[in-house]
Chain A
Protein backbone atom coordinates (compact mmCIF):
# COMPACT_ATOMS: atom_id res chain seq x y z
CA UNK A 1 0.00 0.00 0.00
CA UNK A 2 1.37 3.37 -0.96
CA UNK A 3 1.73 6.01 1.72
CA UNK A 4 2.59 9.67 1.32
CA UNK A 5 6.13 10.34 2.46
CA UNK A 6 5.53 14.05 2.89
CA UNK A 7 2.29 15.88 3.45
CA UNK A 8 3.62 19.11 2.05
CA UNK A 9 6.72 20.95 1.02
CA UNK A 10 6.49 24.61 1.90
CA UNK A 11 8.65 27.04 -0.02
CA UNK A 12 9.35 30.37 1.57
CA UNK A 13 11.60 32.88 -0.16
CA UNK A 14 12.65 36.33 0.90
CA UNK A 15 14.72 38.77 -1.11
CA UNK A 16 16.37 41.99 -0.08
CA UNK A 17 17.39 44.49 -2.73
CA UNK A 18 20.39 46.65 -1.93
CA UNK A 19 20.33 49.88 -3.91
CA UNK A 20 23.42 52.03 -4.22
CA UNK A 21 22.94 55.60 -3.22
CA UNK A 22 23.64 57.84 -6.22
CA UNK A 23 26.62 60.12 -6.01
CA UNK A 24 28.78 61.78 -8.67
CA UNK A 25 31.17 58.87 -8.71
CA UNK A 26 28.39 56.32 -9.03
CA UNK A 27 27.11 58.23 -12.01
CA UNK A 28 30.29 57.38 -13.89
CA UNK A 29 29.47 53.70 -13.80
CA UNK A 30 28.01 52.47 -17.07
CA UNK A 31 26.70 49.12 -18.14
CA UNK A 32 29.35 46.47 -17.63
CA UNK A 33 31.57 48.68 -15.52
CA UNK A 34 32.44 47.84 -11.97
CA UNK A 35 34.30 49.58 -9.23
CA UNK A 36 37.34 47.56 -10.24
CA UNK A 37 37.23 49.30 -13.61
CA UNK A 38 38.39 52.44 -11.85
CA UNK A 39 41.18 50.73 -9.98
CA UNK A 40 39.78 51.52 -6.57
CA UNK A 41 39.54 49.41 -3.49
CA UNK A 42 35.98 48.68 -2.52
CA UNK A 43 34.60 47.97 0.89
CA UNK A 44 32.47 44.84 1.33
CA UNK A 45 29.38 47.05 1.30
CA UNK A 46 30.21 48.30 -2.19
CA UNK A 47 31.35 51.76 -1.15
CA UNK A 48 34.62 53.36 -2.10
CA UNK A 49 36.57 53.88 1.10
CA UNK A 50 37.41 57.44 0.10
CA UNK A 51 34.01 58.55 -1.22
CA UNK A 52 32.64 60.97 1.33
CA UNK A 53 29.23 61.09 -0.33
CA UNK A 54 28.85 57.35 -0.14
CA UNK A 55 30.11 57.15 3.39
CA UNK A 56 27.66 59.73 4.65
CA UNK A 57 24.66 58.50 2.66
CA UNK A 58 23.98 54.83 3.30
CA UNK A 59 22.68 52.39 0.74
CA UNK A 60 18.99 51.65 0.86
CA UNK A 61 17.32 48.28 1.22
CA UNK A 62 13.92 47.08 0.10
CA UNK A 63 12.15 43.73 0.29
CA UNK A 64 10.96 41.77 -2.72
CA UNK A 65 7.38 40.60 -2.91
CA UNK A 66 7.13 36.82 -2.44
CA UNK A 67 4.35 34.56 -1.31
CA UNK A 68 4.73 31.35 0.64
CA UNK A 69 3.38 28.37 -1.28
CA UNK A 70 2.38 24.96 0.01
CA UNK A 71 2.68 21.98 -2.30
CA UNK A 72 1.25 18.51 -1.90
Chain B
Protein backbone atom coordinates (compact mmCIF):
# COMPACT_ATOMS: atom_id res chain seq x y z
CA UNK B 1 0.00 0.00 0.00
CA UNK B 2 1.14 3.51 -0.71
CA UNK B 3 1.18 6.45 1.66
CA UNK B 4 2.30 9.97 0.92
CA UNK B 5 2.43 13.45 2.35
CA UNK B 6 1.12 15.03 -0.82
CA UNK B 7 2.99 17.78 -2.60
CA UNK B 8 1.08 19.91 -5.04
CA UNK B 9 1.43 23.41 -6.36
CA UNK B 10 -0.39 26.51 -5.30
CA UNK B 11 0.34 26.16 -1.61
CA UNK B 12 -2.34 23.55 -1.05
CA UNK B 13 -0.38 20.36 -0.43
CA UNK B 14 0.90 18.57 2.62
CA UNK B 15 4.44 19.89 2.40
CA UNK B 16 3.08 23.40 2.07
CA UNK B 17 1.00 22.81 5.19
CA UNK B 18 4.15 21.80 7.06
CA UNK B 19 5.93 24.99 5.95
CA UNK B 20 2.95 27.11 6.93
CA UNK B 21 2.69 25.51 10.35
CA UNK B 22 6.40 26.19 10.98
CA UNK B 23 5.62 29.83 10.27
CA UNK B 24 2.67 29.67 12.63
CA UNK B 25 0.08 29.97 9.91
CA UNK B 26 -2.33 27.60 8.25
CA UNK B 27 -4.67 25.08 9.85
CA UNK B 28 -3.85 21.77 11.44
CA UNK B 29 -4.52 18.79 9.13
CA UNK B 30 -6.36 16.61 11.63
CA UNK B 31 -9.55 15.88 9.67
CA UNK B 32 -9.83 12.27 8.51
CA UNK B 33 -11.81 11.21 5.45
CA UNK B 34 -12.08 7.79 3.85
CA UNK B 35 -12.63 6.92 0.22
CA UNK B 36 -13.40 4.02 -2.06
CA UNK B 37 -10.65 4.05 -4.70
CA UNK B 38 -8.12 1.27 -4.94
CA UNK B 39 -5.76 3.31 -7.12
CA UNK B 40 -2.37 3.64 -5.45
CA UNK B 41 -1.81 6.94 -3.68
CA UNK B 42 0.78 9.29 -5.17
CA UNK B 43 2.59 12.39 -3.95
CA UNK B 44 0.92 14.37 -6.73
CA UNK B 45 -2.61 13.57 -5.60
CA UNK B 46 -4.88 16.51 -4.87
CA UNK B 47 -7.83 14.57 -3.43
CA UNK B 48 -8.99 11.11 -2.51
CA UNK B 49 -9.28 8.83 -5.52
CA UNK B 50 -13.03 8.34 -5.19
CA UNK B 51 -15.76 8.87 -2.65
CA UNK B 52 -18.42 6.99 -4.57
CA UNK B 53 -20.54 5.22 -2.00
CA UNK B 54 -18.39 6.58 0.82
CA UNK B 55 -20.21 9.76 1.73
CA UNK B 56 -19.55 9.89 5.46
CA UNK B 57 -18.41 13.17 6.97
CA UNK B 58 -14.82 13.81 7.86
CA UNK B 59 -13.91 13.18 11.47
CA UNK B 60 -11.89 15.74 13.39
CA UNK B 61 -9.24 13.50 14.89
CA UNK B 62 -7.36 13.88 18.13
CA UNK B 63 -3.84 15.05 17.39
CA UNK B 64 -0.72 14.82 19.48
CA UNK B 65 3.04 14.83 19.30
CA UNK B 66 4.45 11.44 20.23
CA UNK B 67 7.83 9.76 20.33
CA UNK B 68 8.79 7.08 17.83
CA UNK B 69 12.59 7.21 17.75
CA UNK B 70 13.65 10.59 19.06
CA UNK B 71 11.66 12.56 21.61
CA UNK B 72 8.60 14.25 20.06
CA UNK B 73 9.55 13.35 16.48
CA UNK B 74 6.11 12.23 15.34
CA UNK B 75 2.80 13.93 14.53
CA UNK B 76 -0.14 11.63 15.29
CA UNK B 77 -3.85 11.84 14.52
CA UNK B 78 -6.38 9.32 15.86
CA UNK B 79 -9.99 9.29 14.78
CA UNK B 80 -12.97 7.06 14.08
CA UNK B 81 -15.39 7.21 11.16
CA UNK B 82 -18.74 5.42 11.38
CA UNK B 83 -20.43 4.02 8.29
CA UNK B 84 -23.83 5.54 7.58
CA UNK B 85 -24.26 3.38 4.48
CA UNK B 86 -22.48 0.31 3.18
CA UNK B 87 -19.24 1.73 1.78
CA UNK B 88 -16.29 -0.11 0.32
CA UNK B 89 -13.37 1.66 1.96
CA UNK B 90 -9.79 1.36 0.77
CA UNK B 91 -8.15 4.77 1.14
CA UNK B 92 -7.81 7.46 3.78
CA UNK B 93 -6.66 11.06 3.80
CA UNK B 94 -5.96 13.94 6.15
CA UNK B 95 -7.26 17.45 5.44
CA UNK B 96 -6.86 20.81 7.15
CA UNK B 97 -10.61 21.47 7.07
CA UNK B 98 -13.69 19.49 8.05
CA UNK B 99 -15.14 20.27 4.61
CA UNK B 100 -18.69 20.69 3.45
CA UNK B 101 -21.17 18.61 1.51
CA UNK B 102 -21.82 14.91 1.29
CA UNK B 103 -19.27 13.53 0.60
CA UNK B 104 -17.30 16.42 2.07
CA UNK B 105 -14.99 18.52 -0.06
CA UNK B 106 -12.76 21.48 0.60
CA UNK B 107 -9.64 22.19 2.56
CA UNK B 108 -6.07 21.31 1.73
CA UNK B 109 -4.93 17.71 1.29
CA UNK B 110 -2.11 16.70 3.63
CA UNK B 111 -1.72 12.94 3.42
CA UNK B 112 -3.06 10.11 1.27
CA UNK B 113 -2.80 6.37 1.87
CA UNK B 114 -4.36 3.12 0.69
CA UNK B 115 -5.35 0.07 2.69
CA UNK B 116 -6.98 -3.24 2.06
CA UNK B 117 -10.52 -3.13 0.69
CA UNK B 118 -13.08 -3.26 3.49
CA UNK B 119 -16.86 -3.40 3.08
CA UNK B 120 -18.72 -1.99 6.06
CA UNK B 121 -22.28 -2.24 7.31
CA UNK B 122 -24.26 0.60 8.82
CA UNK B 123 -22.86 1.46 12.23
CA UNK B 124 -19.52 -0.25 11.73
CA UNK B 125 -16.43 1.85 12.22
CA UNK B 126 -12.78 2.21 11.36
CA UNK B 127 -10.46 3.79 13.89
CA UNK B 128 -7.39 5.20 12.18
CA UNK B 129 -4.10 6.02 13.86
CA UNK B 130 -1.98 8.06 11.46
CA UNK B 131 1.62 8.91 12.28
CA UNK B 132 4.09 11.07 10.38
CA UNK B 133 7.57 10.73 11.83
CA UNK B 134 10.35 13.15 10.93
CA UNK B 135 13.79 11.59 11.10
Interface residues of A (CB under 8 A from B): 6-20, 26, 29-35, 46, 64-69, 71
Q: Is the CB of A6 within 8 A of B134?
A: yes
Tell me which residues across on chain A come within 8 A of B68, comparing CB atoms.
10, 12
Smallest CB separation, A72 vs chain B (Å): 11
- The answer to whether B113 touches A66 (Cβ under 8 A) is yes
A53 to B5 CA separation, bound complex (whole angstroms): 44
The reply to whether B115 and A13 contact each other, CB–CB distance below 8 Å, is yes
A9, B43: Cα distance in complex, Å: 13
Cβ of B30 within 8 Å of any chain A Cβ, yes or no, is: no
* Pairwise interchain contact B135-A10, C-beta atoms closer than 8 A: yes
Give min CB distance, B6 to chain A, whole Å.
11
A66 to B1, Cβ gap below 8 A?
Answer: yes
Sampled A-B contacts (11; CB under 8 Å): A10-B135, A11-B111, A11-B131, A11-B133, A13-B129, A18-B127, A35-B123, A64-B116, A66-B3, A66-B115, A69-B4
Question: Which chain B residues border A31 with CB–CB below 8 Å?
Answer: 85-86, 122
User: A65 contacts B1, CB within 8 Å?
Assistant: yes
CB neighbours (8 Å) of A15 from chain B are 92, 115, 126-129
